[in-house]
Amino acid sequence: MQPFAGRGRLFLLRHGETEWNRARRVMGRRPIPLCVAGRAQLATLAPHLGGLGIEAIWTSPVMRARETAEIVAATLGGLPIREDERLSEVRYGAWEGRSFPELLDDPAYHAFHRDPLRARVPGGGETLLEVRERVFAAAADALAETAGGHPLLVSHGDPLRLLLAACLAIDPEEFRRIRVDNGALSAVDLIGSWSEAKFVNMRPDLCTMLDAEVDGARALRDRAQAPGETK
Q: Which of 17, 67, 89, 96 is catalytic?
A: 89
Q: Which of these, 58, 63, 66, lies nearest to 28 by C-alpha position?
A: 63
Q: At what angle do helices 157-167 and 128-145 cross, to 10 degrees?
A: 70
Residue 48 annotated among the catalytic residues of the structure: no
**DSSP code string of 138-206:** HHHHHHHHTTS--EEEEE-HHHHHHHHHHHTT--GGGGGGS---TT-EEEEEEESS-EEEEEEEE-S-H
SS3 207: helix
Going by the DSSP 8-state scheme, the letter that residue 42 receives in this structure is H
> CA dihedral defined by 219, 154, 3, 138, rounded to 10 degrees?
120
| Chain centre to alpha carbon of residue 134 | 13
Q: What is the distance of C-alpha 216 from the center of its chain?
A: 15
110 is annotated as an active-site residue: no
Candidates 15, 17, 67, 156; catalytic one: 15
Q: What is the CA radius of gyration of the chain?
A: 17
Distance CA 69, CA 14 (A): 10
Query: Catalytic site residues?
Result: 15, 89
